[in-house]
Amino acid sequence: MLSVKDLHAEIDGKEILRGVNLEVKPGEVHAIMGPNGSGKSTLSMVLAGNPAYSVTSGEVVFMGKDLLEMSPDVRSHEGLFLGFQYPVEIPGVSMVNFMRAAVNAKRKYFGEPPMGATDFLKLMREKRAVVELDNKLASRSVNEGFSGGEKKRNEIFQMAVLEPKLSILDETDSGLDVDALRIVAEGVNKLRTPENSAIVITHYQRLLDYIKPDVIHVLYKGRIVYTGGPELALEIEEKGYDWIKADVDSQDEIKGEA
């Protein structure tokens, strides 16, 4: 589904990703963990196509196509979804109009006519239920005045509507209390199918109690330095990142000497 090879990317001339390799197969859930500043959010932004970041080398193939060639909207149509760590507020654009534009843009891409009003409202109602999102938010501006929990639920609601093949959830757990975390995680689980995949970026083990990953990666200094099974998360929770950092830093030193 997704194949990332030796991906290098920078922002404002500063290299953040230094050779990321990642393979995600249909149906898999991958967790990416790592200390602050290791490049986790940068990876999600680069995969979603944020123009502020530039890819300097490497390749990304998504569903057999060159992802890096596509604009962010086309990536969305092709089935990529990014759940933002900090969902953006858009004053003056109502949730309803925002979602209608999103749904109809996708339909247009696949040569279908715009969705009728009744079907659209039904779709909204159905998908709101997935994350118990309040109906009253529909008439409000996108994310404006939403609580932290509502913003994150709103991200999963959008994911439910757009039905992506691959969802990247960037610290969807940050800023959530236990109940909100459960609702968001359950929402993600309800949307799981044997075909679609997810990359869950998180600092903490607790989200992974709800969303069971198949593979866990540790990103450090812009590279994936460790890959393991679900038990790796527990080890990190217990011991922190220092042992991984020490390991990687010492290997770097050896390379430097060689």
Partner 1 sequence: MAAVDQYISLWNEHHALVDSNAPEALNSLRGAAAEVLAHNGFPALNEEIYRHSDFEKILSPDYGINIGRVRINVNPAESFRCDVPMLSTSLFLVVNDSFAETSGCRDMLPAGVEIASLAAFARSNPDFVKRYYGSVADISNPIVALNTLFCQDGVVIHVKKGIKVEPTLQIVNIFNNNTPLLAARRVLIVMDEDSEAKVLFCDHTQSPDVDFCSVQVVEIVAAEGSRLDFYDLEESSKRTSRLSSLWLRQLAGSEVLLDSMTLYNGTTRNEFFTRFAGSHARLRMLGMGIEDESRRLDTYSRISHDCPDCSSDELFKYVVDGDAVGSFAGLIYVAEGAVKTEAYQSNRNLVGSDTAKMHSKPQLEIYNDDVKCSHGTAIGQLDENQLFYMMTRGISGEEAKLMLKQAFMSDVIDGVSLPPLRDRLKLMIERRFAGEQTACASCPLPCQN
Q: Which of 63, 69, 84 is nearest to 165 (CA)?
A: 63
Query: Interhelix angle for 117-130 vs 148-162, to 10°?
Result: 130
Q: Which positions from 106 to 145 touch partner 1 by CB under 8 A, shown as an x/- string?
A: x--x-------------------------------x----
Contact 183, 153 (CB under 8 A): yes
- Cβ distance to partner 1 smaller for residue 91 or 228: 91
What number of chain residues touch partner 1 (CB under 8 A)? 30
Give the residue with the Cβ less far from partner 1, 63 or 246. Answer: 63
Closer residue to partner 1 (CB): 21 or 97:
97
Reported as type and span, the H/E element at residue 31 is: strand 29-33
Could you give the 3-state DSSP secondary structure of residue 2?
Answer: strand
Those residues with Cβ within 8 angstroms of residue 123's Cβ, 6 or more apart along the chain or in another chain: 103, 115, 161
| Residue of the chain from 63, 101, 129, 234 that contacts partner 1 (CB under 8 A) | 101
Q: Is 48 in the site for partner 1 (CB under 8 A)?
A: yes
Separation between Cα atoms, residue 246 and residue 17, nearest integer Å: 19
- Residue with smaller CB distance to partner 1, 108 or 125: 108
Between residues 98 and 204, which has the closer beta carbon with respect to partner 1?
98
Q: How far apart are CA 162 and CA 48, in angstroms?
A: 15
Q: Which of 50, 120, 186, 192 touches partner 1 by CB under 8 A?
A: 50
**Selected range binding partner 1 among 56-64, 69-77, 112-120, 246-254, rule: CB under 8 A:** 69-77
Q: Tell me which residues in 70-99 interact with partner 1 (CB under 8 A).
A: 71-73, 75-77, 81-82, 84, 87-88, 90-93, 97-98
Least distance in angstroms from the C-beta of 240 to partner 1 = 32
Whole-number Å distance between alpha carbons of 1 and 165: 8
Closer residue to partner 1 (CB): 43 or 48 = 48
Using CB under 8 A, pick the residue from 51, 116, 194, 256 that binds partner 1.
51
Query: In this complex, which beta carbon is closest to partner 1, that of residue 74 or of residue 248?
Result: 74
Question: How many CA atoms lie within 13 Å of 62's alpha carbon, on the beta-carbon side?
Answer: 24
> CA–CA separation, 219 vs 33, rounded Å?
6
Using N-to-C axis directions, what is the helix angle for 242-257 and 231-239, rounded to 10°?
A: 90
x-or-dash string of contact with partner 1, 140-179, rule CB under 8 A: -x----------------x---x-----------------
H-type helices in the chain, by residue range? 40-48, 72-77, 95-109, 117-130, 148-162, 178-190, 206-210, 231-239, 242-257
- List interacting residues with partner 1 (CB under 8 A): 48-52, 71-73, 75-77, 81-82, 84, 87-88, 90-93, 97-98, 101-102, 105-106, 109, 141, 158, 162
